Amino acid sequence: MTLRFLRAVVTGLLLAACVVIAPTAVNAAAPARVMALGDSITGSPGCWRALLWKHLQDTGYTDVDFVGSLPAQGCGFAHDGDNEGHGGFLATNIVRDNQLPGWLSSARPDVVLMHLGTNDVWNNIPASTILNAYTALLGQMRASNPAIKLVVAQIIPMNPSNCSACGQRVADLNAAIPGWARANSTTASPITVVDQWTGFDTAADTGDGVHPNSTTGIQKIEARWYPAVVAALRSQPTAVGLHVEGTRVVEGNGATFVMRGVNHAHVWYQGQTRAFADMKSFGTNTVRVVLGSGQRWGPTPAAEVSSVISLCKQNKLICVLEVHDTTGFGEQSGAASLDQAATYWIGVADALKGQENYVVVNLGNEPFGNNASVSATWASATSSAISRLRGAGLQHLIMADAPMWGQDWGNIMRDNAASVFNADPLRNTVFSIHMYGVYDTAAEINAYFDAFRTAGLPLVVGEFGHNHSDGDPDEDTIMAQAQSRGLGYLGWSWSGNSSDVGYLDMTNSFNPASLTSWGERFLNGANGVRQTSKEATIYGGGNPGDTVAPSTPGTPAASGVTSTGLTLNWTASTDNVGVTGYDVLRAVGSGSFTAVGSTATTTYADSGLTPSTTYRYQVRAKDAAGNVSASSGIVSATTAAGGGTGACKVGYSGQNWGGGNGFTANVTITNTGTSAVDGWTLAFSYAGGQKVTLPGWGATFAQSGAAVTATNLTWNRTLAPNASVGIGFNGTYSGSNPAPTSFTLNGSTCTTG
């Protein structure tokens, strides 16, 4: 966007010990995401993870989200079991096959717990090669999140019957891990070493010389992880004052704050201080204030920044402060870089610190022009500027403008926002799109809004107008959709535009009694400021707060019912301001309802269901203020019968070891019936002459010829309806290693898959 003003051309290393940690409450702005990464010791079933989750919950660390692509596998009680524990996997092969980046992209962890290398040792991979794989994995973690914390284990000892040398190989690897950690740990991304080796006895604490048993092994592992995880969680930086939670901007007390405000060209009209009170008189809750960093205008000194903040606070406005000198960098002559803007913000940091409840720092206005090669650097330049501000101690909510004169017509910000968000150690960045001529249809506006909602990232419309030289923006859709979705918007501008874009003035000559047609539309029209703005609670709430819940949505109807999925549709709710979405609740049979998903539309597709099972559903509506409707009526639907005849389902995977005739088998048993199974025996046969290496884990295994049985242990004897348990074993084969083709549970044939 150019030519808006006559005077401006505008467009550590910690060796963790087993210590007692006092209970404490953790109240981070967003759940800390913890990913357990490893092999079968971590994932099959990896019940130390269940014990760790419970320990954290019991000691006040309730806002922790275990993440990963693999689900929980039993362990006898409900827990957050998501993980990346892949049975039979080698660290070196994970690197070779480039598997970690995909897992990281989905999980987005803040902390990684890594117990990895057992299978590498088993395959006689040298310790130096394993550490090289660690280095590659660490690089991929930091590419995903520069502030990631790695908690790496000196792995438990091993003494399998077929590898007499493995014990010493583990000792060699573990001896090298602390030095590797010291060499690679950084302040921004520390590495903690946890000693899982000392005091762990393969005879007493494993069932097969490798995998921890459920009587002492998993307890020892959990006890070593716990203090290191707590230390990592306690060191998680948390945002103060205004911050983001998911897609929302919230205040320090957690109240949702939706920006409704006006841009004001303070750097060119420093005498127009009355404008703050005049804007407030129409109900605005935010003002975006134009400042100069000294490359083209200003610089606006720290004392003046303090005066502007005082004006905002006197008039109960949230202050978005932006540096305008960056406008059109790479295309506009003399424009400042984001690095220069960061230098300015650091120079006035004393005026900003302590104002986190009132001030948003907008890094730089429209920081790149249409030069494609320069705009392509938006993500790295924005991330670097954010890092500099955080390093200088600025904890404020940061607003990042889009490139390409703010309109992001090449979708550079849309496609790279997640990486920039993750590069912020505080995860406290909101993205700003400027909607002018590029956004002249409802389809374009909704598509852009949808992309950020799907990505789970916060977005505001930092500038827009009703007309422009590059096209005719669809301001009605911008305002209506922003309102219905709970997105902030800031219109351009109060007054003072140059004559060629004078139609963007909301007032004539800064006179609040003389509104232009654009000012009338923006301030007093449908979905405009007067109708939708709510004052920040830091100032007392005002204007008035929305306490009206949406109406009850219609009873959902189920269609397209298959053995594993169905689609729900219902009649929309209404609301005095606007419905922003719906929560979908599900119950199995006559059980309790739990939330299973959310949607912004009146349609929801549910999948992963169990064949021949009755499910009940209801929905509830919510609005941007957090008000929730009453739950709808209930619809029941019974899934179709699946393959097989039994009320059970079995998943089997066999991972061959590289360079040998061994393999690791992981088996998941699911009760697909409507009543609990109390005591179970799984039976199957091998067709390739495979032999089970006893004892295995999660069950008592026995083999007679080709026939194998697995009988429950005490802790996993009972399988509730829809509950699963993971068991497994190591084995040997000669030639091929085909999977069993059928399974029975207590004599009933199970489905497979």
Query: Residues with catalytic annotation?
Result: 366, 463
- Residue 643: name the closest of 740, 562, 586 by CA: 562
List the beta strands (DSSP E) in 455-537. 459-464, 488-491, 507-508, 511-515
| Contact indicator for 383, 423 with CB cutoff of 8 Å | yes
Question: Whole-angstrom Cα distance, residue 344 to residue 346?
Answer: 5
Instruction: Read off the tokens for 299.
Output: 């610089």
Q: 715 and 679 in contact (C-beta within 8 Å)?
A: no
CA distance 685 to 587: 36
What phi, psi does 482 have (nearest 5°)?
A: -60, -40
Strand ranges inside 624-734, DSSP E: 635-638, 648-656, 662-671, 677-678, 681-685, 691-697, 699-704, 707-712, 718-719, 724-732
Contact 582, 553 (CB under 8 A): yes
Burial 60-71 (b: 16+ CB within 10 A, else e): ebebbbbbbebe
Cα separation, 151 vs 237, in Å, equals: 17
Using DSSP's 3-state secondary structure scheme, residue 707 falls into strand
191 vs 14: CA distance, rounded Å: 7
Asked if 676 and 652 count as a contact pair (C-beta separation under 8 A), the reply is: no
Cα–Cα distance measured from residue 248 to residue 243, given in angstroms and rounded to the nearest whole number: 8
Amino acid in the structure at residue 345: W
Give the three-state DSSP class for 302: helix
Residues contacting residue 520 through CB under 8 Å, at least 6 positions apart: none
Nearest 5°: CA angle at 538, between 532 and 539? Answer: 70
Single-letter residue type at 25? A
CA 658/CA 609 separation, integer angstroms? 36
Which structure tokens are listed for 449?
């809004």
Q: How far is CA 701 from CA 183, 185, 727, in A?
A: 44, 43, 10
Nearest Cα neighbor of 73 from 102, 30, 44, 42 is: 44
